[in-house]
Structure 1
């Protein structure tokens, strides 16, 4: 696709070039052949909506090639805009899946599902994605450097959001009617959105020089044209959101058959599949010695969920939900989010990455996953 020029007209010769380029992409990444599962899972969901286990398996197969396409397109865009903007772009598009899923659950009043998916996404992005990037990048490169100013900035934003989530949970014992918690959550939602907006202004405008990449990227395969990349980003993101919604609708039935607990499904399975696109980009960027992009995606995505997605859902619940949703999470979720934030702060403090740092982050995530699989945490009524 690198042979295409942005101003070319759509002609038979250009279509032939696009076809050859598509075939070349499939040869380089055979997993892209799984793209055939995208229409298949959509048709199956319409014809056999009760086939939960089959829908679950086919949804996973469909998300994999979509994630790879999203990864390639994001890399092409970030190569022209810089890793800071590229990380923000990928985090935003990746979190669109969680936002769409939550918006679908709000009218039904499934607030527990919404909160579980949000908390699980924060923990998964902070520990699994960041740890995997350190591990995969470190196995190829002895020591990798990244901009620790950017990493500290994202970690501080995440810590602020965790504190805001802790407060409604702390006062739950004295707030028997939940009225105070709802009002407090609404005020905190507005505050967090304002802080996030000012953070974007700080990192992308007034002090953007502080967030420059600290490492040189390796020369890889040629990038797609910017126009093609943007179109692919939009189209693939829509399909990811659609397939993810089908996945969430079938995952509970499949979980019952496979013996997975609801807590494990919400925190681990849904979060991993929902973040597949971001993880693909983060891991491949780390292998290409672009750890700045990987750290920006992992921590930026977690911070964006906590500072923007969760507050937006609180506000939207006043219009779509049967009652307002609060930021009150159960103690187990708050504890895991706080530990994940502390781990991200410690790992990003030095501005250098090695593979064993990834092992430690993944070990913490494995501890959480094993605990949730065997003993689900108590949840609020």
Structure 2
């Protein structure tokens, strides 16, 4: 039933998105159409990722989902950088970090916990991710803010470039560590879940669906960006709120849907890998890559966030680490993460 609804939404949403962008329909109407279309396409990305996860394992499946999901936000951010909207890009990166950890993680734990009283995932992966979260968000994001206070703009950009290169190199090392040198070294009983399950689609079909859905989401997302200014004025949304909440939620809709579905099916290793893995990919790869790409445009983007953005990201990291470091979760922990996200969302709305 749900799959049929997604099929109808995609079949109707894509033509309407194309027609509306050509005929310049009202921004509020197109905003709704774009968002619904992206959510429907995210459903297909989730099904394709689940099939790949069964074939390739939870780690690679989660990594693929995070990568395809973040590709959408990367495309949106590049267009925003080209337009000189560095503040919106930094805000969207903040929104991705707190959104993945608190919103996606919270909904996954809540939905999964309501069906399964207790859910387990790899404690070794949780502890490994904890160290990377502290490094990538607290060290690599807070340190530039502190040092930038005594630097001019040119030195701040140079410092940001240096940090970005280090982050990307360490992220590649982290992938090599988990997928090559230490693959299978740390085993957990839930790693074997779904071992004999048959995937809905074969690997080739799943990859084709992922590629087509990502291309469609990128097209719709690019048009969605052009509606933000008008919609923000009509609904009273600030640029910061649009970046932190709206762009982040819509841009990461694919992994949002996938993580919740995986948690509902008690595949917590994949759900956690999507939520936390996507955060790490944003902080250690997407953000530094955008800093480097911004050098190609008229206005370069330093890796310096505002104080509310920094405090929100640091809080999200510490809360996530405290709740996930035991490799065990329940619906109440999910509700706690969601409550933190709502508090931050209200704060960004009122700023």
TM-score range, shorter chain: over 0.9
- The answer to whether the aligner puts 1:68 opposite 2:43 as a matched pair is yes
Correspondence for 2:234: 257
| Structure 1 position 367, deviation (Å) | 0.5
Give RMSD over aligned pairs.
1.7
For 1:52-63, what aligned pairs fall within 5 Å after superposition? 52-63=27-38
Correspondence for 1:84: 59
Correspondence for 1:266: 243
Residue pair 2:50, 2:199 contacting (<8 A) in 1 also: no
| Structure 1 position 158, deviation (Å) | 2.0
Correspondence for 1:154: 129
Correspondence for 2:288: 311
* TM-score, scaled relative to structure 1: 0.87
Match of 2:67, SS state, is helix
Change (3 A) 1:58 1:225: same
Correspondence for 2:261: 284
Aligned length: 347
> Structure 1 stretch 161-170 or stretch 182-191: which is displaced more?
161-170
Q: Following the alignment from structure 1 to structure 2, what is the Cα–Cα distance between the partners of residues 324 and 233?
A: 32
Residue pair 2:141, 2:304 contacting (<8 A) in 1 also: yes
Change (3 A) 1:107 1:262: closer
Post-superposition Cα deviations, 1:13-55, rounded to whole Å, max 9, x if no partner, equal xxxxxxxxxxxxx675423311111121122112206x21111
Match of 1:127, SS state, is helix
Q: Following the alignment from structure 2 to structure 1, what is the Cα–Cα distance between the partners of residues 65 and 186?
A: 16
Greater RCO (CA < 8 Å, at least 6 residues apart): 2
For 1:183-194, what aligned pairs fall within 5 Å after superposition? 183-194=158-169
- The answer to whether the aligner puts 1:224 opposite 2:201 as a matched pair is yes
Residue pair 1:131, 1:357 contacting (<8 A) in 2 also: yes
| Structure 1 position 201, deviation (Å) | 0.4
| Structure 1 position 173, deviation (Å) | 2.4
| Structure 1 position 323, deviation (Å) | 3.3
- The answer to whether the aligner puts 1:329 opposite 2:308 as a matched pair is no
Q: Following the alignment from structure 1 to structure 2, what is the Cα–Cα distance between the partners of residues 127 and 58?
A: 26
| Structure 2 residues not aligned, in runs of 5+ | none
| Structure 1 position 212, deviation (Å) | 4.6
Match of 1:109, SS state, is coil
- The answer to whether the aligner puts 1:45 opposite 2:21 as a matched pair is yes
Of 136, 155, 169, 1:180 maps to: 155
Post-superposition Cα deviations, 1:171-227, rounded to whole Å, max 9, x if no partner, equal 23222x212211110110110001000000001011111455542249878511111
Change (3 A) 1:212 1:293: farther
Of 99, 105, 109, 1:130 maps to: 105
Post-superposition Cα deviations, 1:141-168, rounded to whole Å, max 9, x if no partner, equal 1111100211222232122111111122
Post-superposition Cα deviations, 1:277-336, rounded to whole Å, max 9, x if no partner, equal 1011100000111000000000000110110011111111112x1133210111111111
Change (3 A) 1:340 1:34: same
Match of 2:82, SS state, is coil
> Structure 1 stretch 64-73 or stretch 146-155: which is displaced more?
146-155
Q: Following the alignment from structure 1 to structure 2, what is the Cα–Cα distance between the partners of residues 221 and 312?
A: 37
| Structure 1 position 124, deviation (Å) | 0.2
Residue pair 1:108, 1:322 contacting (<8 A) in 2 also: no
* TM-score, scaled relative to structure 2: 0.95
Match of 1:209, SS state, is coil
